Structure 1
Amino acid sequence: MAAALVGVSLLGLSPAAAETLQGALAKAYQTNPTLNAARANLMATDENVPIQRAAALPSLQLNSTYNENVLIPGGQFIIIPRTLQSQGQLTVPIYQGGLVKNGIKAADARVSAGEETLRGTEASVFSQVVAAYNDVLRDSQIVEFNRANVRTLETNLRATRDRFEVGDLTRTDVAQSEARLSQAQADLRNAEANLIASKERYIQQVGEPPTNLTQPPPLPGLPANVDEAVEIAIKENPDIAAAIKTAEAAGYDVKTARAARLPTLNGFGTVSRTDNFGGAIVPQGFPAQPSSQTSAVVGARLALPLYQGGRPSAQIRQAQARSSAAQETQIGTERGVIQQVRAAYASWQASLDVIKSAEAAIAANSLSLEGVRAENGVGNRTIIEVLNAEQELINSRVQLATARRNAYVAAFSLLAAMGNAEARDLDLQGVNLYNPRENYRRAKASIFDWSERDAPAIRSTRTVTTPAQTAAGQVADDASATAPK
């Protein structure tokens, strides 16, 4: 179901030189440091399973001691100048009071929680990429609106001055035109600064500067109502799933702590060898000493705790308190997700309404501006009325660009809260998706002391070499596809 919700939305052909939202998400998936760090942290969590399991496997140890007797006390009849003592010991755990079993189950549950956390990290990063992508589009359009406004006001000012020279207008009209142009120039500078900031946020998330961004496609599969969205989120949201698994792991921790009060049983075997290198000094009449001696012992060791100063009980109570905290956190996470879903849905719906209102306002303000200009030409309207009509049209266009951005970002955030906006849900062409289960299986199957992974290497791209961004550059301004359908 998740793939059907979002995967289709990012399909489509775009100009070869243009950057698509799908392409930006693919770059972020591969080079974003937050994602790469989350994957590495999950790999570290995977290793807790073999670490816990190691306590249930046999252990083999070899100890060797070499002695050189440099000072031999008097009164000894047999003198051994040097010895080499070697001992090999095999220990086989038989019963550990449930410590190992519950430790492994807790580690497995935390691996599952880590996988869900990785899903949540992917959704969070992708939401930031979508926001940065749409911020650049919005701010580029606003810059163009303000530039056009400045050009229009410059033309108006020249015309106003010409009419003042012939006595058709007053100094007040000229001053009003000059003031409105100065304000428009200031607005343009602010818009350009906002565009630069948006471009830098894009670089932070994607790793490359934005170039000729195309309008993102509509997002299909959005819920019909807020109740449907909440129902899906309860089942699919990764934060809720991670909290459930974390609470499950905390329950196993309680059982692990109880094992400290139970007996343990281990089997063992020991082989010992002592070698004096044939250098024993034996007085006449004493039997000769062998150059080496070997012995072997097998047995079992039972340990029954009787009193440990109250430590096991304290550890159990501590684990129980943490389990209670994990269960409360699960409820808190669920509350937070419900709030996110409902807020994102409301924001999305409100933005769609604003889009309709802004489109109607643009049509009305365009007609109004034409009329005011025509009436000004025959002396029925003042210059300030023309300037106000122009400003209202600019405000409507800015409102529309902002509403389209807000609608798209809110819709994607809604899908993310529903658990349907992660790498597995997106058709990221040319990208091999990271499968956390593969690393988990490798880690779980490893029982050798000398196995390692590849040396740590940075996979994310640095942005220090990217040039500082400017407000220059053109971005596709076909806004017909910006509003989610």
Structure 2
Amino acid sequence: MRGMAADKVVKAFAVTAGIALSVMPGRAVWADNLTDAFIGAYNTSGLLEQNRALLRAADEDVAIALAALRPIINWSVNINQEYTKTRSGSVVTTTNPARFFSGLTLTQLLYDGGASVLGKQSAQETVLATRQSLIDIEQQVLFRATTAYLGVLLQEETVQIRQNNVDLSSEELRASNDRFEVGEVTRTDVALSEAQLASSRADLADARGDLSTAQAEYLNAVGKLPGRTAGQPSLPNLPRSQSDAIGLAQRNHPAILSAQHQVRAFDLIVRQQRAGLGPNVSLGANAGVRENFDDDDYQNDAGLSLNFNQPIYAGGRLAATVRRAMATRDSSRANLLNVQKDITQGVTDAYVRFETATASLTASTERVRASQVAFDGIREEATLGARTTLDVLNAQQDLLDAQLSEVLSRTERSLAAYQVLQAQGLLTAERLGLAVQIYDPTLYYNLVKKAPAQISKQSKDLDRVLKALRRD
């Protein structure tokens, strides 16, 4: 049964590794919507891989702390050369025996005031804190994917608007030339139209450059170049009020949960350091063979000892160690308060940003409608001689500004909505229901938490897991 369980663990890690390898830059894999961007970022993020490795290192700290409660067995070889000169009356005797010892030594902690147990508990709290930090990193990775996707979408729409403006400016230039030929306008009007067209072309070039920059960021964040985007993503379900969002964030955000576990870990370390000031009792044993190089004599040695130690004075190091642990604990408590305040502010900022973007989008949409009506009217009036070329160009610029403002507001609203999710601690692959192999932090921990020996079957299972993670 244990072998089957280990195989499942290895397969789970192997699948994760396989998915990550299957989506790499340069391959013809196209992300058309925000969900695809999420999946690409989750599967290819080096930042996630880095922090998963840090979590596995924290898992091993639990095994190391547990090992302090177990017997320590060493194979020992000792070669000893002595020199002794003895005088008894007028007789002087000199000896220089050479001895060889080979055998096993054992040390077992019997009592340390609970310091080792507290050390293990502290390591476990650190593991829980690191898991929450990993979730927070996951949120950062997915939000960066959101920003990258919406950035590409914004620049694509901007390029399209700029291109339409170039086409419109070309039409206006032709119309100005036609009216100039029949004497309806002056050369100045034609020059104004030429300047407008040149400016539109320059703005289009800038927009295409911004699109290339946005695509480069998308490649970095998602792991592949974007295809044609599918448009604005649907908005996620958001809380009914700002206070509801703050309440959920205070209970659920991984940064707060991580800080809480860190406080508990440092509390345990303070208790551990204080316990270390008390007595320490250990059992020692050894068994082996001792030989003399001077002759063929040997003897079988075996011994058993009970050792008691009580720290009394170490130059002030003992008290300083306790005070240092207390200061670190106090720092972690202050950090928890800061994190809670930062999360509250983050939710408030994101929620206000979403509401502002929503209102701005409503106003921008109405502005586009009104600007379009005004432009069409002024353009028609210009054909009848009631408006100048400058009036038409100004109306065209107003319409362009309104269209760009609408696109920007729509993108801002989508980005703010997902920022609200992140601020609440809800922007994770599991909560989003992404079609990915979710990384399970308990798989590796369950293999190492009992500190398996190197020669055990469980240790060999761990080697297979690590090989799958390294993707050798």
TM-score exceeds 0.5:
yes
Structure 1 position 83, deviation (Å):
4.7
The answer to whether the 8 A contact 2:236-2:418 is kept is: no
The reply on whether 1:27 has 2:40 as its aligned counterpart is: yes
Cα deviation per residue 1:256-285 (whole Å; 9 max; x = unaligned)?
Answer: 2112310001112111311348x71xxxxx
Q: Which amino acid aligns with 2:328?
A: R
Separation (CA, whole Å) in 2 of partners of 1:266 and 1:393 = 84
Residue 255 of structure 1 corresponds to which residue in structure 2? 271
Structure 1 residues 75 and 457, CA gap change in structure 2 (3 angstroms)? farther
The reply on whether 1:189 has 2:202 as its aligned counterpart is: no
Structure 1 position 65, deviation (Å):
2.7
The answer to whether the 8 A contact 2:64-2:451 is kept is: no
Structure 1 residues 97 and 17, CA gap change in structure 2 (3 angstroms)? closer
The answer to whether the 8 A contact 1:134-1:409 is kept is: yes
Unpaired runs of at least 5, structure 1: 1-15, 281-289, 460-485
Residue 440 of structure 1 corresponds to which residue in structure 2? 445
1:302-321 pair list within 5 angstroms: 302-321=308-327
Residue 58 of structure 1 corresponds to which residue in structure 2? 71
Separation (CA, whole Å) in 1 of partners of 2:100 and 2:441 = 49
The reply on whether 1:354 has 2:377 as its aligned counterpart is: no
Separation (CA, whole Å) in 2 of partners of 1:47 and 1:139 = 46
Residue 396 of structure 1 corresponds to which residue in structure 2? 402
Separation (CA, whole Å) in 1 of partners of 2:132 and 2:445 = 14
Give the SS at the match of 1:445.
coil
Structure 1 residues 20 and 379, CA gap change in structure 2 (3 angstroms)? same
Residue 191 of structure 2 corresponds to which residue in structure 1? 175
Residue 285 of structure 2 corresponds to which residue in structure 1? 269
Structure 1 residues 78 and 380, CA gap change in structure 2 (3 angstroms)? closer
Residue 427 of structure 1 corresponds to which residue in structure 2? 433
The answer to whether the 8 A contact 1:22-1:428 is kept is: yes
Instruction: State how many pairs are aligned.
Output: 432
Residue 129 of structure 1 corresponds to which residue in structure 2? 145
Structure 1 position 444, deviation (Å):
0.8
Residue 92 of structure 1 corresponds to which residue in structure 2? 108
1:178-257 pair list within 5 angstroms: 178-257=194-273
Residue 478 of structure 1 corresponds to which residue in structure 2? none
TM-score by length of 2: 0.86
CA RMSD of superposed structures (Å)? 2.5
Structure 1 residues 259 and 361, CA gap change in structure 2 (3 angstroms)? same
Cα deviation per residue 1:85-124 (whole Å; 9 max; x = unaligned)?
Answer: 1131111111112221111111111111100000100001
Cα deviation per residue 1:230-259 (whole Å; 9 max; x = unaligned)?
Answer: 000000111111111111111111112112
Large movers: runs of 4+ above 6 Å = 72-80, 456-459
Structure 1 position 162, deviation (Å):
2.2
Separation (CA, whole Å) in 2 of partners of 1:339 and 1:242 = 18
Cα deviation per residue 1:291-331 (whole Å; 9 max; x = unaligned)?
Answer: 32012112311111222222111111111111111100000
The answer to whether the 8 A contact 2:60-2:449 is kept is: yes
Unpaired runs of at least 5, structure 2: 1-28
Structure 1 position 457, deviation (Å):
6.6
The answer to whether the 8 A contact 2:33-2:233 is kept is: no
Structure 1 residues 77 and 171, CA gap change in structure 2 (3 angstroms)? closer
Separation (CA, whole Å) in 1 of partners of 2:445 and 2:135 = 16
Separation (CA, whole Å) in 2 of partners of 1:68 and 1:339 = 72
The answer to whether the 8 A contact 1:50-1:446 is kept is: yes
Give the SS at the match of 1:302.
strand
Pick 1 or 2: higher relative contact order, CA cutoff 8 A, min separation 6. Answer: 1
The answer to whether the 8 A contact 2:290-2:301 is kept is: no
Residue 38 of structure 1 corresponds to which residue in structure 2? 51
1:386 pairs, out of 373, 384, 392, with 392
TM-score by length of 1: 0.84
Q: Which amino acid aligns with 1:190?
A: D
Deviates more, 1:312-321 or 1:175-184: 175-184
1:329 pairs, out of 325, 329, 335, with 335
Cα deviation per residue 1:351-375 (whole Å; 9 max; x = unaligned)?
Answer: 1111111111111111111111111
Q: Which amino acid aligns with 1:205?
A: A
Structure 1 residues 448 and 18, CA gap change in structure 2 (3 angstroms)? closer
The answer to whether the 8 A contact 1:49-1:107 is kept is: yes
Q: Alignment identity in percent?
A: 30
Separation (CA, whole Å) in 1 of partners of 2:124 and 2:429 = 23
Separation (CA, whole Å) in 2 of partners of 1:428 and 1:457 = 21
Separation (CA, whole Å) in 2 of partners of 1:132 and 1:324 = 39
The answer to whether the 8 A contact 1:98-1:255 is kept is: no
